[in-house]
Amino acid sequence: MKKYRILIVEDEAINALFLKRSLSDDYEITGITSTGEDAIEMALRQLPDCIIMDIKLEGPMSGIEAIARIRESFPVPHIYCTAYSDEPMISKARSTNPVAILFKPLVMEDLREAIRKVTG
């Protein structure tokens, strides 16, 4: 049976590792990166089934900007995970039509439920 492929974009290394360890039994983790620029390159090269995207990333590009650029070429489902809950940022995130916007600290069952919406 094919494992669904997930790209993790998270600027906190410990969070990225936690996500990878928590999900790798059920899903293929295609990669982990901490910048929007790398996320774009990896997504377009790897064509994951889903992207877990932090909103605030290392470097000048936000996760919202990275998703918008990725979706210009590849309409991949995405789930935002963020520690920030200010309304302008959340409104901007919603404009990219995510599967879910989850707030940190993550509840893994909420993340798994969001992934199931993508994978069926």
pLDDT digits (tens, 9 = 90+) for 15-39: 999 999 999 999 999 999 999 999 9
How long, in residues, is the chain? Answer: 120
Domains of the chain are 5-119 (3.40.50.2300)
pLDDT value at residue 119: 86
> Do residues 40 and 63 touch, judged by C-beta distance below 8 A?
no
> Do residues 83 and 104 touch, judged by C-beta distance below 8 A?
yes
pLDDT of 39-55, one tens digit each?
Answer: 999 999 999 999 999 99
Q: Tokens representing 38?
A: 């790398």
Q: What is the pTM of this model?
A: 0.96
